[in-house]
């Protein structure tokens, strides 16, 4: 499905990013695994290679404004081009009222979850335009130059009783960046979309998961009508679809992966 294409995944050392890196490689892409933890990144690369895929590591800390440019440059230097990107890196902090939320927390959350996404997109778009059209099986009149998928959240569509003001603001911003870039670059061959997971079975959710299925159902049923976590693999498969020629007319959209959560609001 994605043979001959080069993908970059940020936050690829755990959770959603890790699952997406593995799934993109299984679909045939060469994958640059980007993250802060060298040991974890190498472990993901080892899984991909053991399954017959192609992957390498780019260490990148999204707190560093220079990291996105360096990460993209490393991808192009290693694989010769950049065709696909999934911007999954992010951090989370729990609910704080506006009147008690401090500047340092706000600044870090916006820096990692919004400003870094902008810088990643900027660097990725530049590299994709330089790389030129990629092999395509679609019958679209214009060639595909690249595809970007951003990891947003259901809280990018609403408020939250669980997340902080900065997290909610950043995820709204990610969806805005997605739509803006989609409009600006679709006629230059770049599609940009986002995914918005609901409560996901990542390490953050481990304490609830370990409490058992009944506890999970009780905690989540008022959010996700299915009463269960979204799995990282379910999100990863959607990312692969959005990167594929099957999604050639999907541009500027955010795909909620929430079991119907937003439908009931």
Measuring CA to CA, which residue among 28, 71, 19 is closest to residue 52?
A: 28
**Two tokens at 224?**
């996700």
pLDDT tens-digit profile of 230-248?
Answer: 889 999 999 999 999 999 9
Which architecture does CATH list for 6-203+232-264? 3-Layer(aba) Sandwich (3.40)
- What's the pLDDT at 137? 47
- The whole-model pTM stands at 0.91
Is the predicted pLDDT of residue 88 greater than 50, yes or no?
Answer: yes
- What's the pLDDT at 201? 72
Q: Is 167 a catalytic residue?
A: yes
Segment holding 83, helix H or strand E: none
Catalytic residue among 167, 195, 235, 247: 167
CA distance 38 to 59: 7
pLDDT tens-digit profile of 61-78?
Answer: 999 999 999 999 999 999
**Cβ atoms of residues 34 and 58 within 8 Å:** yes
CA distance 213 to 47: 29
Can you give the residue ranges of every domain in the chain?
6-203+232-264
**Does residue 32 sit in helix, strand or coil?**
strand
Instruction: Tell me how far CA of residue 148 lies from CA of 72, 214, 248, in angstroms.
Output: 13, 37, 12
């Amino acid at each position: 499905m994605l043979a001959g294409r080069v993908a970059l995944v940020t936050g690829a050392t755990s959770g959603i990013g890790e699952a997406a890196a593995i799934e993109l490689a299984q679909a045939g892409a060469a994958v640059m695994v980007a993250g802060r933890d060298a040991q974890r990144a190498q472990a993901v690369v080892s899984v991909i290679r053991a399954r017959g895929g192609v992957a390498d590591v780019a260490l990148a800390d999204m707190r560093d404004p220079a990291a996105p440019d360096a990460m993209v440059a490393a991808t192009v230097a290693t694989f010769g081009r950049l065709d696909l990107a999934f911007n999954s890196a992010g951090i989370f902090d729990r609910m704080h009222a506006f009147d008690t939320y401090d500047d340092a927390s706000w600044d870090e959350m916006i820096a990692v979850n919004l400003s870094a996404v902008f810088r990643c997109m900027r660097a990725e778009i530049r590299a994709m335009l330089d790389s030129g059209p990629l092999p395509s099986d679609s019958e679209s009149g214009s060639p595909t130059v690249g595809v970007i998928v951003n990891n947003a959240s259901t809280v990018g569509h609403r408020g939250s009783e669980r997340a902080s003001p900065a997290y909610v603001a950043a995820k709204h911003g990610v969806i805005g960046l997605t739509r803006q870039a989609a409009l600006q670059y679709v006629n230059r061959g770049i599609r940009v979309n986002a995914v918005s997971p609901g409560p996901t079975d990542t390490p953050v959710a481990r304490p609830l998961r370990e409490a058992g299925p009944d506890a999970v159902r009780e905690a989540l049923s008022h959010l996700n009508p299915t009463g269960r976590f979204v799995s990282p693999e379910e999100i990863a498969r959607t990312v692969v679809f959005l990167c594929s020629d099957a999604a050639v007319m999907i541009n500027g959209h955010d795909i909620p992966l929430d079991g119907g959560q937003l439908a009931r609001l």
